[in-house]
Amino acid sequence: MRVLVTGGAGFIGSHVVEALRARGHEPVVYDVRADPACDVRDSAAVARALAGVDAVCHQAAMVGLGDGVADAAEYVSRNDLGTAVLLAAMAEAGVRRLVLAGSMVVYGEGRYECPLHGVVRPGPRAVAALDTGRFEPGCPVCGAELSPGLVGEDAPADPRNVYAATKLAQEHLAAAWARVTGGQGVSLRYHNVYGPRMPRDTPYAGVASFFRSALARGEAPRVFEDGRQRRDFVHVRDVAAANVAALEAGAPCGALTSYNTGSGEPHTVGEMACALAAAHGGPEPVVTGEYRLGDVRHITADSARLRAELGWKPQVGFEEGMREFARG
CB 318 within 8 A of CB 263: yes
Separation of alpha carbons 215 and 115, rounded Å: 41
Under a CB-based contact definition with an 8 Å cutoff, are residues 196 and 236 in contact?
A: yes
Q: Is 143 exposed, middle or buried (0-12, 13-18, 19+ CB in 10 A)?
A: exposed
Task: Mark whether 259 is an active-site residue.
Answer: no
Contact 225, 270 (CB under 8 A): no
Question: Is 60 within 8 Å of 31 (Cβ atoms)?
Answer: yes
CB 274 within 8 A of CB 205: no
Contact 177, 95 (CB under 8 A): no
Strand partners, 250: none
Of residues 163, 190, 194, 259, which has the active-site annotation? 163
Cis preceding linkage at 283, omega within 30: yes
| Positions marked catalytic | 163
